[in-house]
Amino acid sequence: MTTRDLSAAVVNYAPEKGAVELRDLERPLIGEDDVLLEVANVGVCGSDLHQWTADHSWQVNYPVVLGHEFGGHIVATGKNVKEWNEGDRVVSETAAIINPSNPLSRTGLYNLDPDRKGFGYGVNGAMTRYVRVPARCLHLVPENVPFEQACLTEPCCVAYNAVVGNSHIHPGDRVVVLGPGTIGILCAAVAKLCGAEVAIVGLENDKHRLNIAAQYGCDIVIGDASEWSGKRDGLGADFVIDAAGASVTLKIALQLVRPNGHITKVGWGPQPMGFSLDPLVQKNVTLQGSFSHNWPVWEKVIYLISSGKLDVKPIIGGIWPITEWKEAFEKMHRGEIVKSVLKPV
Ligand SMILES: [Zn+2]
């Protein structure tokens, strides 16, 4: 093995807080149904930060290379891969391992297959130069979309599935989004595309991220959104999208939603709730979870990005070489920027 076969990788090596470091990784071997993708850019996700700070609520297969928001060029294809060629510009879905005979996979909902394992926690992710990707995960990226933007297709798909697939927002609906992280801002942006009137809610120290959200044409609320929610008829918001990473925000969502309204929870928080769900019953509210995305969502989102209808540029806070992963993680963790993007070295 020569040093040329080794690339720097951001590895999460143990379940303890802070157990992330740079390691040299051999170029992965690929199977017959895989491609080898040379990563151009990889986004840092809140879930990468959660694994770094060890407050995640999913099983991690340590040691694992972080990163599941990525795109790049195909540099090798497995024997059975006919529809992709070396040099193709692609982004990858996140469901690296699925059970194709699971009933959910058979109906196209492989994102909900209990055997699903994703990049960055189940198998090695993309915070390195080369990543092994099953060909079924790939989508073509139009030439006009640079990879710094294309790598954010994944969080856009999370938002699209939460707002369109799992919320059915209509033009004129009043929508409150809780949490001005990447997913919250993108949920607000997609809700605007659906024709809704949208407010995004954060705290005093979220001001910078809220100002970025304002670029998508939504209203900004710091603290209590009751007044905004009730502005039309006093009854509350048609939809509340909970994109904050804490369980307690569900309590706020239950206060803001109107009777017979709808709450979609897309943010994760492992804490127990410690409050009553009685308002859910009393207000006849629908509570909907939203997890991940599947093939048709990706095709729609790639169109929205390439046509300029969904602009991801405002959320990109900077691009760092992978060797400076820690600064990129810390800036995002402190809320100084919405999204860090890394570049392999
Ligand atoms: Zn993500």
CA of 284 to the centre of ligand 1 (A): 32
CA of 230 to the centre of ligand 1 (A): 32
CA of 218 to the centre of ligand 1 (A): 23
CA of 281 to the centre of ligand 1 (A): 32
Say what the pLDDT of residue 3 is.
Answer: 53
Say what the pLDDT of residue 1 is.
Answer: 47
CA of 226 to the centre of ligand 1 (A): 30
| Inter-residue contact 259 to 280 (CB < 8 Å) | no
CA of 69 to the centre of ligand 1 (A): 6
Say what the pLDDT of residue 160 is.
Answer: 98
Q: Which residues contact 77 (CB under 8 A, 6 or more apart)?
A: 35, 36, 84, 85, 86, 135
Intervals of the chain under pLDDT 70: 1-4
Say what the pLDDT of residue 100 is.
Answer: 95
Say what the pLDDT of residue 268 is.
Answer: 84
CA of 341 to the centre of ligand 1 (A): 12
Q: Which residues contact 282 (CB under 8 A, 6 or more apart)?
A: none
CA of 179 to the centre of ligand 1 (A): 15
pTM of the full predicted structure?
0.96
